[in-house]
Amino acid sequence: MRKLLIYLKDYKKESIIGPLFKLLEATFELIVPVIMAHIIDIGIKNHDTLYIWKMGAVLVIFGILGLTCSLLAQYFAAKAAVGFGTALRHDLFWHIENLSHAEVDKAGSSTLVVRMTSDVNQVQSGVNLVLRLFLRSPFIVVGALVMAFTINWKAAMVFVVTVPLLAFVIYGIMVITIPLYKKVQRELDEVLLTTRENLTGVRVIRAFRTQKLERETFEHKSDMLMDIQMHVGKISASLNPLTYIIVNAGIIAVIWFGGIQVNVGDMTQGEVIALVNYMTQTLLALVALANLIITFTKALASAGRINEVFAMKPGIVDGNEKESAVQQTEEPKTAVSMEDVTFYYQESKEPALEHISFTAKKGETIGIIGGTGSGKSTLVSLIPRFYDVTEGRVFVNEKDVREYKVENLRSKVGTVPQKAVLFHGTIRDNMKMGREDASDEEIFEALKTAQALEIVENKPGKLDTVLSEGGKNLSGGQRQRLTIARALVRNPEVLILDDSASALDFATDANLRKAIAEDTNNMTVFIVSQRAASIMHADKIIVLDDGQMVGYGTHQELLKQCEVYQEICYSQFSKEEVQDHE
């Protein structure tokens, strides 16, 4: 938690003023029983109505002042806590954005969402409550004790017994409930994760008609959450009867001893009433302190989980471009090359790629083909440095990708991932993600090449058409074409199409490849596909099998030399068709 407190640095003033106002309010609260005592001992005893009115007015003024202080304290504490939460959320988001694919894979995106949202909220509530009550509650308890002693030390001895007893009971209940509250938090996380997964995968769930199973799983998790909440609720509920028994016993004792003191003339009736008030104030302050500690413990647990995310160091960091730029004098002829690359995913014992070497010249089209899980996506993800190689080297423009500033490298390499993801916003907003200053003309140009012009032109709002979250108001093929257009808007030197035309019909796929070849000036294009038709016209084809490069050459060369390639082609075309293409 201490590490996170730096996010309060812009709210130092609020963090001090808030608790101070709360202390001021507590001071007014501590004075009230004394005024009450005076009303009883002077006003009522002497039938002095004017005195009672005057003191009543003082009480009202104190009440208004107390309320004002309380509101101000609330305002400053809330301002500091919300500011803290916002700054923390921004930094956490920024940090997560900078994590590489490897760290996100390891943590899991759902967990990161929960930490960004509910954990940050929990810490924010903790800060708010601490600022308001951390000083106030102990101040009231100590203040009430001191006031009780100043009134009558003998009667105040009741406090000496009652307050530790109360503290002991509250502490005992906290010791039992705090681990249970942590469990509640964990169960709540489970419910949140299940909800998120269900909502994002709702179409798949419906398609496979697994709603019943999903509902049962959800109900099970939700029931578990309810059971544990009921359990902890019952224990917490025993706090009230137990503490009230102690306080009422204390009040009886105060009245009992107070009565004796009044009889012998050592105390007044008003003072007895004041002691009773102090007893009640102590109880309320201790209960508030217990709630504060419970919330604070939950906030601590959340802070720990947030710190775990901050502790993840981005695996991909900027290289020192200046140093290496000196060495590069001539215009590079090779766009992308790999030198004996081997790659293992984190915590995987089997390599996803082994000893891969190839060279792609500027303007060439490289096809990558292979069975599912053969390493095609992994291979292309090493070019924009989504992952770093385990062994070997990857070059873009004849420079090791690790020597580039990550942003600079990725501006050269446009990637269209397997899963077409669009964002909520207009088509123009989505296209401008490719390049912020792209003009409408350039966007239309890219849409034309990506065979996506008709999608936009058929929409009444054209580029201003609003896409729903994930582009769900478009078909799979339309989404794919728009994501290709988005990558083209950037006009990258290297374009990677990672199975991103799989939802297109053969004619559109062929038109797309033709347009990319004609419209993109000297762009090096990687086409990953399981369809031989999509890559057979490429200048070079890489054939992958279980992470190994089992073939590298043109369609004709591979048909003669590469068994795996032959198998793929013959499984997709008739012998005549294959020979036609030769």
Ligand X SMILES: Nc1ncnc2c1ncn2[C@@H]1O[C@H](COP(=O)(O)OP(=O)(O)OP(=O)(O)O)[C@@H](O)[C@H]1O
Our CB check for ligand X shows the closer of 83 and 547 to be 547
CB neighbour list of residue 53: distance below 8 Å, 6 or more residues apart: none
Among the listed ranges 149-157, 189-197, 278-286, 375-383, the one in contact with ligand X (CB under 6 A) is 375-383
Q: How long, in residues, is the chain?
A: 582
Our CB check for ligand X shows the closer of 374 and 449 to be 374
Our CB check for ligand X shows the closer of 122 and 374 to be 374
Taking CB under 6 A as the criterion, the residue among 43, 258, 367, 375 binding ligand X is 375
Which of 518, 538, 517, 519 shows the shortest CA–CA distance to 527?
A: 538
For residue 417, the minimal CB distance to ligand X (Å) is 10
Among the listed ranges 83-91, 107-115, 244-252, 366-374, the one in contact with ligand X (CB under 6 A) is 366-374
Give the bridge partners for 366, in sequence order: 526, 540
3-state secondary structure of 434: coil
Our CB check for ligand X shows the closer of 164 and 373 to be 373
Query: Please, which of residues 376-405 interact with ligand X by CB under 6 A?
Result: 376-378
> In 16-136, at which residue ranges do the beta strands (DSSP E only) sit?
none
Our CB check for ligand X shows the closer of 282 and 374 to be 374
Taking CB under 6 A as the criterion, the residue among 263, 327, 329, 372 binding ligand X is 372
Query: Please, which of residues 63-122 interact with ligand X by CB under 6 A?
Result: 105
Among the listed ranges 185-193, 370-378, 424-432, 442-450, the one in contact with ligand X (CB under 6 A) is 370-378
And the tokens for 217?
A: 């799983």
Taking CB under 6 A as the criterion, the residue among 373, 454, 469, 476 binding ligand X is 373
Residue with tokens 């993600």: 433
Residue with tokens 């000196």: 326
Q: Binding marks (x or -) toward ligand X, 159..198, rule CB under 6 A?
A: ----------------------------------------
Binding of ligand X by 571 (CB under 6 A): no
Taking CB under 6 A as the criterion, the residue among 81, 131, 272, 352 binding ligand X is 352
For residue 136, the minimal CB distance to ligand X (Å) is 50
CA atoms of 316 and 178, how far apart (whole Å)? 39
Q: Are 12 and 126 in contact (CB under 8 A)?
A: no
Q: Binding marks (x or -) toward ligand X, 407..446, rule CB under 6 A?
A: -----------x----------------------------
SS3 of 241-276: the string is HHHHHHHHHHHHHHHHHHHHHHHCCCCCHHHHHHHH
Residue type, 489: V
Q: Are 414 and 450 in contact (CB under 8 A)?
A: no
CA atoms of 398 and 359, how far apart (whole Å)? 10
> What is the total count of residues that contact ligand X (CB under 6 A)?
14
For residue 458, the minimal CB distance to ligand X (Å) is 31
Q: Which of the 8 DSSP states describes residue 338?
A: E
Q: Are 382 and 389 in contact (CB under 8 A)?
A: yes
Among the listed ranges 20-28, 109-117, 303-311, 344-352, the one in contact with ligand X (CB under 6 A) is 344-352
b vs e for 553-581, b when ≥16 Cβ sit within 10 Å of the residue's Cβ? bebeebbeebebbbebbeeebeeeebeee
Taking CB under 6 A as the criterion, the residue among 327, 348, 571, 574 binding ligand X is 348
Q: Are 261 and 152 in contact (CB under 8 A)?
A: yes
* Backbone φ and ψ of 460, nearest 5°: -60, -35
CA atoms of 480 and 3, how far apart (whole Å)? 43
Among the listed ranges 303-311, 367-375, 450-458, 465-473, the one in contact with ligand X (CB under 6 A) is 367-375
Per CB under 6 A, residues contacting ligand X are 105, 345, 348, 352, 370, 372-378, 418, 530
